[in-house]
Amino acid sequence: MDIVQTLYEIPALGLLFQLIGYLIDIVPKIAPFILLAATPLVLGGMCGVLCERSGIVNIGIEGTMLAAAFTGWTVSSAAAGILGIGEAGLFGITPPLVIGILAAVGVAMLIGALQAWLSISVLANQIIVGTIVNIAAFGVTGYLYTLISKTSPPTVGGLRPFVPPDWLTELPIVGWLFTTFLNQAPITMSVIVIVFAMQLLLFRSRWGLRTRAVGEHPRAAETVGVHVARLRYRNVILAGIFAGLAGAYLSMEATDSFQQGMTAGRGFIALAAVIVGRWTPIGAFGAALLFASSQAIGQAVSFAPPPGQLGEILGGFPGQLWDALPYIVTVVVLAGVVGRSIPPAADGQPYEREAAT
């Protein structure tokens, strides 16, 4: 303990040691909140990885998540008004919530199908297609929400976290890990499974090999019998499932309501996680955790600053700085990665089949 205190008292450098000590102490305590903040980023990142590994640039993740969040909340409220809320089961799941989640995923897949048609069949510019999705989603959901909110739709209640047994969460050293991953609601708990399943399928399966082939060299893939357009259609539509779950998380798990623009740039941060993570599921997961950690640590510093001189310095920063910290970290990390992280070779390039001779 005396050694630690001695390190803390070193001029200038002591502040760095204080910060490291503070992070070691605070991260296990806020780890569940880090995973919560990372969930929509990870799911959006999985959408981006699957699309871009297939050769399709999807910058419409933000709009897809927003449309899914609105649809899930609206449909679950409408279902509750017709069917009643019903008895809650595990995780607080009720029939209206199930219907709402399915609706959120369904609308995201429909948007994915529209993007696939415009990008693959119409050969439209994929950046413009994604931009249109984002603008349309923000405008349409904002307008419809204004109309629907006037009717005071019934509150369905959100998904509830699982409570693991105390003997598991109180284990020395590793107990906080069980708290982080088990004391969560279902969509958040599914993130780990989704990430590792995607990593395994993308790099250890026939489907994954074909997906990476059409993203790197579609002409060569077609010569060995891969139908490039069909595979790209399928993958972009399936990628909508992840964006739909991200939207459902925002309006049905993190909260039990919808607010205009509630995605708050998370879709774009998810795209940054894809790039920082070098277009791999585990890499995108790690980048999302990094961005989410900055948000959780910023909130921790605002409410429980470290003691001593470091606390006085950090406490002097305005609260708006901590709110902006995730976006600042995203820009800084992305600026350091761009140019070093190489995307799939055919990413964003339209592809037309050669005519049969």
Diameter of the chain measured on Cα atoms: 82
Tell me the CA distances in angstroms from 164 to 31, 168, 338, one per residue in order: 16, 7, 41
pLDDT digits (tens, 9 = 90+) for 83-139: 887 777 788 889 999 999 999 999 999 999 999 999 999 999 999 999 999 999 999
The candidate with the shortest Cα–Cα distance to 74, out of 144, 158, 160, 159, is 144
User: H or E stretch including 299?
Assistant: helix 281-303
Q: Name residue, tokens 């990430």.
A: 195
- Name every residue whose Cβ is closer than 8 Å to that of residue 23 and which is 6 or more positions away in sequence: 297
pLDDT tier, 357 (very low <50, low <70, confident <90, very high otherwise): very low
Eight-state DSSP code of residue 341: B
Q: Six-digit token pair at 46?
A: 């999985």
Tell me the CA distances in angstroms from 303 to 100, 209, 314, one per residue in order: 35, 48, 11
Q: Is 348 left (phi over 0), alpha (psi -120 to 50) or beta?
A: left
The whole-model pTM stands at 0.92
Whether the CB-CB separation of 333 and 38 falls below 8 Å is answered with: no
Integer Cα distance of 162 and 186 in angstroms: 8
pLDDT tier, 177 (very low <50, low <70, confident <90, very high otherwise): confident
pLDDT digits (tens, 9 = 90+) for 36-59: 999 999 999 999 999 999 999 999
Share of the chain above pLDDT 70, in %: 95
For residue 341, list its beta bridge partners.
338
Output the CA angle 54-55-61, nearest 5 degrees.
85
Sign of the CA dihedral running 208, 235, 276, 29:
negative
Predicted pLDDT of residue 12: 64
pLDDT digits (tens, 9 = 90+) for 278-303: 999 999 999 999 999 988 888 888 77
Predicted pLDDT of residue 338: 61
Output the CA angle 190-191-195, nearest 5 degrees.
120
Share of the chain above pLDDT 90, in %: 57
Per-position b or e across 266-277, b if 16+ CB within 10 A of its CB: bbbbbbbbbbbb
pLDDT tier, 2 (very low <50, low <70, confident <90, very high otherwise): low
Q: Six-digit token pair at 210?
A: 């074909």
For residue 338, list its beta bridge partners.
341
* CA dihedral of residues 181, 33, 200, 282 (deg, nearest 10): -140
- Name every residue whose Cβ is closer than 8 Å to that of residue 258 and which is 6 or more positions away in sequence: 69, 70, 73, 74, 141, 145, 251
